[in-house]
Amino acid sequence: MTPATTGNQATVRVMAILSTFLDNDSGQGSLGVTEISKRLGMTKSMVHRGLSSLVRHQYVVRDPSGSRYELGPAVAQFGTVHVRPPDLHALCRPTENALRELTGETISLHVPVDDVVVCVDGIEGRGPVARWVPLGRSIPLHVSPASRAVLAHLPDDEVDLYLDRPLKVFTKSTLHTPDELWEEIRQIRADGYARSLGDHYTKATGTAIGFPVLDVNDEPHGSLTVAGPTDRFTPKVIADLMDDMLAEVAKLNRSTRLHLSGREPVTAP
């Protein structure tokens, strides 16, 4: 058998494996190596090699379990293929646990919905005094670290569209003009996180840091926040832990960047 023939057969196997995903419930759901092997009559080692090639080019990605595979962002070029949005709860939960172990504070997951973010998951911190997880709470995009971590990673035209409207002022620290918010956005993009500014509640007693959770286009799936009492989650504590927190979030984003977010663009009011 010539090398060219061998290469052609390998290409055919890879395309057959990809076709199995495309034919799988209109591109939805995940498949395991054993299922693909049985469907195509290939050995598991052949399937593994084919999947490795598809993963390398992001035509398929591992699902949150790590043991199965689903369509990846590269198939978007086919136009009509539906790629299932990522399960953020499953993808983010290990990072939420790691951040809680690292800091001892409350961790919350927020997702963008139109021009607000909504808290959809979280883990309460340790100790007699801990911030609660504000499940279901919605916050405008210009207010709080959870929101500004998302706002800062929207495309510039969407940021301009959001800022081109009257923005509600909650406290004397609320940033509400385009100039001051763009200055903050540039700082967040440079640092990789958003800070507490005391801009949401007048009598706030906590401190929070917001980290973006990004998709394949570096646009936001949402954000993770670490929040604790001001007298415990101090600027020094935050500075001492920041490199480790950023490392955990970077690890998460290596997984979430394999997906398209499916978020709705910010629209004019």
pLDDT of 85: 57
Q: Show the low-confidence residues of the chain (pLDDT under 50).
A: 1-7, 26-27
Quick one: which of 181, 157, 146, 165 has its CA closest to 269?
Answer: 165
Residue 171: helix, strand or coil by DSSP? coil
Alpha-carbon distance of 222 to 47, in angstroms, equals 34
Q: Which fold has domain 3-78?
A: Arc Repressor Mutant, subunit A (1.10.10)
Q: What residue ranges do the domains of the chain occupy?
A: 3-78, 88-256
Q: What letter represents residue 234's amino acid?
A: T
* Long-range interactions of 6-10: CB distance < 8 A, separation 24+: 10/49, 10/50
pLDDT of 104: 95
Alpha carbon separation from 213 to 2, 16, 194, 266 (Å, rounded): 47, 33, 12, 17
Query: 73 Cβ partners below 8 Å, 6+ apart?
Result: 58, 61, 83, 215, 216, 258, 259, 260
Q: Considering the domain 88-256, what is its CATH architecture?
A: 2-Layer Sandwich (3.30)
Q: Quick check: do 3-78 and 88-256 share a fold?
A: no
Diameter of the chain measured on Cα atoms: 76
CB 146 within 8 A of CB 107: no
Beta strands in the chain (DSSP E): 60-62, 69-71, 106-113, 116-123, 138-140, 194-195, 206-214, 220-229
pLDDT of 59: 81
CB 107 within 8 A of CB 86: no
Backbone torsions φ then ψ of 254, nearest 5 degrees = -65, -30
* Long-range interactions of 207-210: CB distance < 8 A, separation 24+: 207/233, 207/234, 207/238, 208/131, 208/144, 208/145, 208/146, 208/233, 209/145, 209/238, 209/245, 210/110, 210/144, 210/145, 210/146, 210/147, 210/148, 210/149
Helix (H) or strand (E) segment spanning residue 48: helix 44-56
CB 72 within 8 A of CB 60: yes
Residue 76 in tokens:
């978007």
pLDDT of 186: 97
Point out which residues pair with 70 in neighbouring strands: 61
pLDDT of 163: 96
